[in-house]
Structure 1
Amino acid sequence: MALMAMPNLTNNMVNQNKKETTMHPQIHTVQTSDHQFLCAKTWGKPELPALVLVHGYPDNQEVWEPIIHELINEFYIVTYDVRGAGESSIPKHIRDYRLERLSLDLEAVVNQLLGHRPFHLAAHDWGSIQTWESVTEPRFKDRILSYTTISGPCLDHAAMLLGDEIKQNPVGFLKKLSKSWYIAAFHLPLLAPTVWQFLTAKQWAKVLSGLEKKSNLPLNHNIAKDGKYGINLYRANFIPALTKPRERYAQCPVQAVVLTRDAFVSPDYILKEMPKWVDQFEYVELDANHWAILSQPQTIAKYIAGFAQRHPV
């Protein structure tokens, strides 16, 4: 019996080794149009369909590695540390974190690493918020094949929803506002950046484990820096979006992964507002909290891959 089982065991080991050997990325430096430098990585075989993954706050590109492990045999994957995070450079001015600039960063990354190839896009949290700027930008039409957004609405869409609810449903407005208490805190000049300096990777891991109800999640050893400088994403963009929201229409099919226990983002931003701005819109619901990309990477990877495969080149 044991001898008969050996070939299957050997095949499984070979397949696992194949996946592990491709989990060593090539590392690239991308210069942006305003002379910042972004640390980017490419994973897998270039002949496969291209997939770009953009991380949120307070993360860096390493947060995607559990999902990359699931998708590396199906896609040529591009990740990068957004400005101010990971190994990328840190801009001096808050205005350097504006959405328009972040969209140009994505464009610089894909132009250097993918040339003129079209690509699929998936993003989480602030990665989603910032890539909505590209998804709704006409120059990306036919370049972005599909977009999977996780816990990150378009700020313009969110501002319009809040404006409607202030008038029509004040109670609903206050409920959404209560989930977003941290946004106001992040605008405090000294307190918010200082707090991050005292947070260790293990302490942050405990926070995530408590939210996701799952232990041994990957550590972010750069959390103090990522948290401190990423605050500028909020400071540069929230007030302009709330005071002067723009009409922004998606240029590609969009899939939203709705996390039903998300502690920070209301599902209403997705289910009520997105269909107004997206011609080809789908959504799936997942019983998870905000960092499902860490706690349920296999499920998230399945959603990303399935949607991309329904929208090939």
Structure 2
Amino acid sequence: MDLALWEQGDRSRPTVLLVHGYPDTHAVWDEVAERLAARHHVVRYDVRGAGASSRPAGRGGYAFGRLMADMRAVLDAAAPGRRVHLVGHDWGSIQSWEAVCTMAERFASFTSISGPCLDHVALWTRRGLARPTPSSLRRVAGQGVRSWYICLFQLPVLPELLWRAGLSRVFTRALEIGEGVPARDGHPARTLPRDGASGVGLYRANMVRLRRPRGRRTDVPTQVIVPTRDLFVSPHLVGGLPEHVPDLSIRPVAAGHWVPRSRPDAVARWVAGHVARVEDGPRAARSAG
């Protein structure tokens, strides 16, 4: 595997690792990275199957274990021996939940955007169905409607054919109309047809976790930015998170799924504030001592 990696800012500053989702590349973070780079060391990479990185064949190449190995390699290359501040969007956030729950020692903080932990989603769904009320059933059904495409991506061959037949143009137009996110140089990427076709492996390799959830808990200080107009991830999925994440902050924002593009000022401000809170904690404790 070859992973394409980008760095901005001063390496002596706190490192912020930005992980993109599907079917994006590192470029979805351009506006946020520019705002953070003045006071942070910003690291981004194209995840496997996207952009300038390698594209493994078969669903096994996209399993969580492979994604975690990639992230460790990026951390070792860009911030050796340091704990970084992790930020993930969409599938970048889904895999980042796996990271902070399985190798928490590598991270100083975590910011999640529009990408829940699959184990938490499964437990949230089971809890809503175990003791059904009209409200809980509406919420579970609402997330089911939002997740319609997951079933499509389990089909063999068809999703790849759709991406290569022109789905990328539909995706770009939907961003402009539904999200108010105009196309610009780098996003959506020119590699979008291949990225979309390759990235369905993420869904085929990992959605089994919804049927067999594992106990997932993290003590990494976590904030969840919740776009209240997200067409794919229900804002209600944050319910029950305090059971799994003791140090938790929730940041609602009136925006759609691609909030790193539509509200980069707010995202960068919240990330920088979260980083500062965590970084200032040890310094404040030393001063008090």
Output the TM-score relative to the length of structure 1.
0.84
Q: 1:43 offset after TM fit, Å?
A: 1.1
The one-letter amino acid of 1:231's match is: V
Asked if residue 211 in structure 1 is aligned to residue 175 in structure 2, the reply is no
Distance in 2, Cα, partners of 1:310 & 1:89 = 36
In the alignment, residue 48 of structure 1 is paired with which amino acid? Answer: R
**1:165 aligned onto 2:128:** yes
| In structure 2, C-alpha distance between the alignment counterparts of 1:216 and 1:193, rounded to whole Å | 22
Report the CA distance shift for 1:226/1:166 in structure 2 as closer, same or farther (over 3 A): same
Q: Which amino acid aligns with 2:192?
A: I
Flag the 1:200–1:173 CA change in 2: closer, same or farther, 3 A: closer
Superposition deviation, residue 219 in structure 1: 3.3
Please, which of 210, 235, 238 is the counterpart of residue 267 of structure 1?
235
Shift of 1:310: 0.5
Q: How does 1:204-283 map onto structure 2 within 5 Å? A: 204-217=171-184, 218-239=187-208, 241-270=209-238, 272-283=239-250
Structure 2 Cα separation of the partners of residues 134 and 52 of structure 1:
12
In structure 1, distance between residues paired with 2:129 and 2:152: 21
Please report how far the alpha carbon of residue 203 of structure 1 lies from its aligned counterpart in structure 2 after TM superposition: 4.4
2:115 alignment counterpart:
152
The 5-angstrom pairing of residues 71-110 of structure 1 reads 71-110=36-75
Structure 1 distance, partners of 2:235, 2:116, is 9
Amino acid at match of 2:101: T
Partners of 2:138 and 2:254 lie apart in 1 by 25
Distance of 2:168 and 2:212 partners within structure 1: 37
Matched, 1:188 2:188: no
Aligned twin of 1:124: 89
For 1:23, the equivalent position in structure 2 comes to none
Structure 1 distance, partners of 2:57, 2:173, is: 31
Number of residue pairs aligned between Structure 1 and Structure 2: 274
Q: Is the contact between residue 100 and residue 133 of structure 1 (CA under 8 Å) also seen in structure 2?
A: no
What CA deviation, in whole Å up to 9, does each residue of 1:31-82 have, x standing for no partner? xxxxx11111111111111110000000011111111111110111110111
The one-letter code sitting in structure 2 at the alignment partner of 1:152 is G
1:114, distance to aligned residue in structure 2 (A)? 1.1
Distance 2:51 2:45 in 1: 9
- The letter of the residue matching 2:222 is V
Contact 1:83 1:91 in 2 (8 A): yes
Instruction: For structure 2, list consecutive stretches of 5 or more residues without a partner in the other structure.
Output: 283-289
Q: Which residue number in structure 1 is paired with residue 104 of structure 2? A: 140
Judge conservation of contact 2:104–2:218 (CA < 8 Å) in 1: no
RMSD: 1.5
CA shift digits 1:167-208 (9 cap, x unpaired): 223443222211110100111112111111123765433211
Larger radius of gyration: 1
TM-superposed CA distance for 1:299, in Å, is 1.1
Counterpart of 1:52? 17
* 2:153–2:200 CA contact under 8 A, matched in 1: yes
Question: Does the CA-based 8 Å contact 2:230-2:255 persist in structure 1?
Answer: yes
Select between 41-50 and 229-238 the one with higher mean Cα deviation.
41-50
The 5 Å alignment of 1:284-303 reads: 284-303=251-270
CA distance in 1, matches of 2:76, 2:181: 38
SS of equivalent residue, structure 1 residue 86 = coil
Q: Supply the distance in 2 between the matched residues of 1:226 and 1:191 (Cα, whole angstroms).
A: 15
Tell me the amino acid that sits aligned with residue 38 of structure 1: L
CA–CA separation in structure 1 for the residues paired with 2:252 and 2:266: 11
Whether the aligned pair in 2 keeps the contact of 1:40 and 1:79 (CA below 8 Å) is: yes
Confirm or deny that 1:113 pairs with 2:78.
yes
Structure 1 CA distance for aligned equivalents of residues 124 and 168 of structure 2: 36
* TM-superposed deviation, 1:268: 1.6
Specify the alignment match of 1:10 in structure 2.
none
Pair 1:305 & 2:275 matched: no
The residue type paired with residue 127 of structure 2 is D
Question: Could you tell which deviates more after superposition, 256-265 or 90-99?
Answer: 90-99
Higher RCO (CA 8 Å, separation ≥ 6 residues): 2
Query: Please, what TM-score do these two structures have when normalized by structure 2?
Result: 0.91
Tell me: CA distance 1:120–1:295, structure 2 relative to 1, closer, same or farther (3 Å).
Answer: same
Which runs of 5 or more structure 1 residues have no equivalent in the other structure?
Answer: 1-35
Deviation at 1:251, TM superposition (A): 3.1
Structure 1 residue 212: deviation in Å? 1.4
